[in-house]
Amino acid sequence: MFESVRLPHDLRKEDFHALEERLREELLDAQFELAEQKRRCVLVLINGSDGAGKGEVLNKLYEWLDDHFVETLSYDQPTEEESLRPGAWRYWRDMPAKGRIGLVLGSWYHRALRELAIGGMSKDAFRNTLEEINRAEQMLFHEGVLILKIWLFMEGAKAHKRLDNIREPNGALRRAVVLEWEEIDKKKERERLNAAALEVAEVTSTGSAPWAVVRAEDSRYRDAAVADLLLQTLKRATQLQAKPSPVARSHLVPETALPRPSVVSALDLTQKAHPESYAKDLLKLQRRLTEFTTAKSFRDRGLVIAFEGNDAAGKGGAIRRVREALDPRRFRVYGVSAPTDEELARPYLWRFWRNVPRRGHVAIFDRSWYGRVLVERVEGYCTQDDWLRAYQEINDFERQLSEANYTVVKFWLAISRDEQLARFEDRKSKPTKRYKLRPDDWRNREKWPLYERAVTDMVDRTSSRLAPWNLVEANDKKFARLKVLRIINETLEASK
Amino acid sequence: MFESVRLPHDLRKEDFHALEERLREELLDAQFELAEQKRRCVLVLINGSDGAGKGEVLNKLYEWLDDHFVETLSYDQPTEEESLRPGAWRYWRDMPAKGRIGLVLGSWYHRALRELAIGGMSKDAFRNTLEEINRAEQMLFHEGVLILKIWLFMEGAKAHKRLDNIREPNGALRRAVVLEWEEIDKKKERERLNAAALEVAEVTSTGSAPWAVVRAEDSRYRDAAVADLLLQTLKRATQLQAKPSPVARSHLVPETALPRPSVVSALDLTQKAHPESYAKDLLKLQRRLTEFTTAKSFRDRGLVIAFEGNDAAGKGGAIRRVREALDPRRFRVYGVSAPTDEELARPYLWRFWRNVPRRGHVAIFDRSWYGRVLVERVEGYCTQDDWLRAYQEINDFERQLSEANYTVVKFWLAISRDEQLARFEDRKSKPTKRYKLRPDDWRNREKWPLYERAVTDMVDRTSSRLAPWNLVEANDKKFARLKVLRIINETLEASK
């Protein structure tokens, strides 16, 4: 791949200066347009062998761009904070808002390459890692994040020589330039790295995020080429239609117009807890949960619980019973309502990724990432294409959690339409509960059949082996609370 | 996944009849529109556990559709002809033309599932197989093939009972209904199969080809649901815009406007063969090639050679020297020019897939699948999106060949512009050669720089580890012929 990069590339000084003037001007214009529109963000992944000038390119871009709208995202060995969470968390945490440019050093590719070069990752496992990257990048593209992947290429010997030049007098490498692979010093390992880099480019040069390989010996050529690639990406980011998602037209919706049973209407909602043993049963289940989450073995695990359900189904009450059993230093409850400005400026999964707990901790989401395929679908807050692709994206998200040792437990709390009405009336009449009733609640109630359909699709498409849905009959609140606790305990038991 | 399918589904007789009338009418209309437009073809993959009624669904569809435009593609154990070629070959061979509907029994999913259930495929390897299917299906979608994937679902026990019912009096299973998995008789294997099916649905329910799971106990519901799903797919196929390819707008083209070196202009075209030793050298190389391709070890391998190059670069002469060394019963040369009507009605890779040789044989392509990124790109015969996605598709194609034990050797024969002119003039003046010179040749010559750029991109993006490009300096025909033979021999030697 990229044979032509082995040929000499250079740029004469006077050509460079003429080009530079034009590039700077156009870059600033395009950047301004991007910031004005606030529709997309651009990530520039600056990759390459050590000594190819990643740091210098970065400096040049800072010189040419308006640095108010640029940020550097630089990744080295994971910090303690990072290593306690799934691998992708640190990239999500730093995701720039729409309108901005992120310059990334030490991207997810470096991590994959390093694992392959140093560790004993199998060929199939490595390939899977790359396909996961492809899926994630495609998702980001649809969410308005344009990714420019640059590989600064320099022949091995030359890069080595350059590397020597930038050693400090005491022999240490200058950190700013040499970020990731200093520990890969042996020739054999370097060769493996080169072979891996080639495979990476072959597999991850996709339609939504292809690679650009730039010859880096001549620094004028290198800087001008990177700047020109960035310029084109910025133009593309501002010219793409308002709603990118071309998947839109590509989706086949496999739905029949025939009557389809609903997973929730099939539930037996008459189930009740025994009133006399309830308190005892509850305490027992809570104690068990406390044991699980304070055990030494839990330190290497995380627990993520998502609560969804009809309005007034008793999510809050159930969450309270779970919360009571948890060490207050080790859990957090996130109430999910309308997204903030910050959240709206980023891919929809960002608000959940940022709150993925450290291992040893518990996160409880009162409503969750399923909003996209529930309220956003039913209310038309996103396009059909958006919620259709979300099923796969959510499965990918939850798989990443599972593979990073997190237990994911998902609940749908179901009540009947009559029961909901009774609870609404009750809320309306009691001053202490009145705050719980929003005008939206009545409106949503009108759309009961649409929600029921959305719930069935959601359960059908996201009840995966690693994170199955749990439907909870909640007409009797006590029954629901016991069932919730029992399922959490059983899931923890099974995933021990 | 697909929890709702576990709930009872049925359709009363009178409802079914009303529906049937409407469905038949609409199906015929939609089918007619599809056949008229000739823009897309529809594949219906009818999958499901044995005894779920795959054969009955097929019969019903034949009853309701106009069978002039329907074909059944049914796959069982590979035939001898099939097992001598890459796994995907048999599906390619049968690809219906645009305007038609293919009903597929025993699709590529059955093969993957069977391998997992019976063989000892690793988790990662299985996952890779599925991702390859995803990529292939996405490619087919962009090429105008809409795929409806149906899983007929029936609870295990019920399916088993049904299976008993359709045994012949002598105990044999009726073939028409039970196609693929009769050999998987043990309960444990069946369970593994179910688990695998679930994983398959999780990973391969993509935007371009999602799964539809249909409850199959009630045959009225089952048939009506499948027909309704097909109807919607047909409507979609006829309503999608003329040029599907939404990737179009999604592609970032990572090209700089800076001067880029061309891989061919860097070649030293002055290289010449020694006139006195040429005949001897040629013979020696040809003998070596004969040895390789007649050796016993070659029976399990295939050899696919693609020749590309400038007009008048000497492809024909080089091919003749290769051909002379081969057993006439075991090779075939395919001259690739404008596609036939049959070829135009199918994905562009079809004309090459159909000519993939059996193992133990050699196929030589005089021009090849690279036409898409060369002449089709330069002359605008396809959209930018088409040729941009083609790089990845071609890499996938060649990887499938390599993994099926084929050696792929690709040549670009390069001559200088002056040399080309001299050869054109020579052709013009000699009656025996005049037929070789087409008016197109002069036109293409005008576009030399565009072709040079296309060649550089092609080499950069498709020179993979498994199938690297070989650039051949061809101003001296003899030099080129020797180099071609030498490279074929070396590649065969390396892949032994």
Q: What is the ipTM of this complex?
A: 0.74
How far is B422 from B427, CA to CA, in rounded Å?
Answer: 9
pLDDT less than 70: residues of chain A: 119, 156-191, 194, 241-257
Within 10 angstroms of residue B266's Cβ, the number of other Cβ atoms is: 15
Strand partners of residue B406: B302
Within 10 angstroms of residue A360's Cβ, the number of other Cβ atoms is: 17
Q: Are B261 and B459 in contact (CB under 8 A)?
A: no
Strand order in B145-153's β-sheet? B70-74, B101-105, B41-48, B145-153, B211-215
Scanning every residue of chain B, which has its alpha carbon at the shortest distance from the alpha carbon of A393? B206
Scanning every residue of chain A, which has its alpha carbon at the shortest distance from the alpha carbon of B264? A4
Q: How many CB pairs below 8 Å do chains A and B form together?
A: 201
How far is B355 from A79, CA to CA, in rounded Å?
Answer: 55
Residue A358 φ then ψ, to 5°: -70, 160
Distance from CA of A93 to the nearest CA of B (A): 25
Which of A1, A195, A257 is opposite residue B228, by nearest beta carbon?
Answer: A257
How far is A207 from A222, CA to CA, in rounded Å?
Answer: 24
Strand order in B302-309's β-sheet? B331-335, B362-366, B302-309, B406-414, B469-473
> Six-digit token pair at A383?
């396009």
Distance from CA of B278 to the nearest CA of A (A): 30
CB-facing half-sphere around the CA of B166: CA atoms within 13 A? 20
Is there a contact between A258 and B207 if contact means CB atoms under 8 Å apart? no
pLDDT value for B214: 87
Is there a contact between B244 and A250 if contact means CB atoms under 8 Å apart? yes
Distance from CA of A198 to the nearest CA of B (A): 8
Phi-psi region of A375 (alpha: psi -120 to 50; beta: other; left: phi over 0): alpha
pTM: 0.81
Q: Is B323 exposed, middle or buried (0-12, 13-18, 19+ CB in 10 A)?
A: middle
Q: Which residues contact A467 (CB under 8 A, 6 or more apart)?
A: A398, A401, A402, A408, A409, A410
- What is the residue type of B250? S
Which of A5, A127, A392 is opposite residue B128, by nearest beta carbon?
Answer: A127
> Six-digit token pair at A140?
């980001």
> Six-digit token pair at A44?
């520039």
pLDDT value for A256: 67
- What is the residue type of A152? L
For chain A, the residue count is 496
Chain A residue numbers touching B127 (CB-CB < 8 A): 124, 128, 131
H/E stretch holding B490 reads helix B477-494
Q: Are B405 and B300 in contact (CB under 8 A)?
A: yes
H/E stretch holding B320 reads helix B315-324
Phi-psi region of A380 (alpha: psi -120 to 50; beta: other; left: phi over 0): left
The 8-class DSSP code of residue A172 comes to P
Q: Dihedral of the CA atoms A220, A223, A229, A235 (nearest 10)? A: -110
Which of A131, A212, A389 is opposite residue B254, by nearest beta carbon?
Answer: A212
Is there a contact between B127 and A122 if contact means CB atoms under 8 Å apart? no
Chain A residue numbers touching B210 (CB-CB < 8 A): 251-254, 388
Is there a contact between A3 and B122 if contact means CB atoms under 8 Å apart? no
Q: In chain B, pLDDT over 90 holds for what percent of residues?
A: 49
How far is A286 from A292, CA to CA, in rounded Å?
Answer: 10
Chain B residue numbers touching A253 (CB-CB < 8 A): 210, 232
How far is A288 from A298, CA to CA, in rounded Å?
Answer: 13
How far is B486 from B284, CA to CA, in rounded Å?
Answer: 10
> Six-digit token pair at B489?
């021999």
> By C-alpha distance, which of B412, B8, B375, B362 is closest to B218?
B8
Distance from CA of B31 to the nearest CA of A (A): 17
The 8-class DSSP code of residue B68 comes to G
Classify B194 as helix, strand or coil: helix
Sign of CA dihedral A352, A353, A355, A361: positive
Which of B205, B225, B392 is opposite residue A392, by nearest beta carbon?
Answer: B205
- What is the residue type of A454? A
pLDDT less than 70: residues of chain B: 119, 156-191, 194, 241-257
> Six-digit token pair at B165?
């019912």
Classify A123 as helix, strand or coil: helix
Is there a contact between A244 and B253 if contact means CB atoms under 8 Å apart? no
Mutate to test the interface with B, among A132, A256, A268 (most CBs of B within 10 A): A256
> By C-alpha distance, which of B119, B102, B234, B274 is closest to B184?
B119
Chain B residue numbers touching A464 (CB-CB < 8 A): 1, 202
Q: What is the C-alpha end-to-end distance of chain B, expressed in Å?
A: 45
